[in-house]
Amino acid sequence: MRTIFMTIALVMLMGVALVAGTTEKAMKGNDQATFDGTLVCLACDLKGNEGARAECKVFGHRHALKTKDGKYIAFLENKYSKDLINGEKCHNQKITVHGIYHANANMLDVETFEIGGKTKGWCDGCKSMDGCAMK
């Protein structure tokens, strides 16, 4: 229930945004796209920057990508984005994320991401996003 609430809240908070570094084609539909930015807890970031009434202690932190121009892109919740959404290991770190961009929802279905110079992608053997399949 909390996950559904937070997903709805994320989508409502984010409008479709033009994001630096993406192609015009990617902005129009469900296309491959790559975004650069910082992994932030969306609610905490809005609370600190805009005075939003975030309650992460109640509902938990949900991370999103904050682009260089200050726009937010949410991650589609699935096994590929789980580590990014939880964000514990890479909070406030620079990141590049590649996947299928759903412009109408301003949401990215993650395929791979690069953080700290390491690219991570899904490994069926490990059942996680790690670097072993990216070698």
**Greater model confidence, 135 or 85:** 85
Best mean pLDDT range from 16-25, 50-59, 65-74, 124-133:
65-74
**Greater model confidence, 113 or 30:** 113
Domain ranges of the chain: 2-18+32-134
Rounded to the nearest angstrom, the gap between the alpha carbon of residue 74 and the centroid of all alpha carbons in its chain is 4
**pTM of the full predicted structure?**
0.74
Rounded to the nearest angstrom, the gap between the alpha carbon of residue 11 and the centroid of all alpha carbons in its chain is 12
DSSP string, 62-84: -EEEEETTS-EEEE--STTTHHH
Contact present, 46 and 62 (Cβ < 8 Å): no
3-state secondary structure of 94: strand
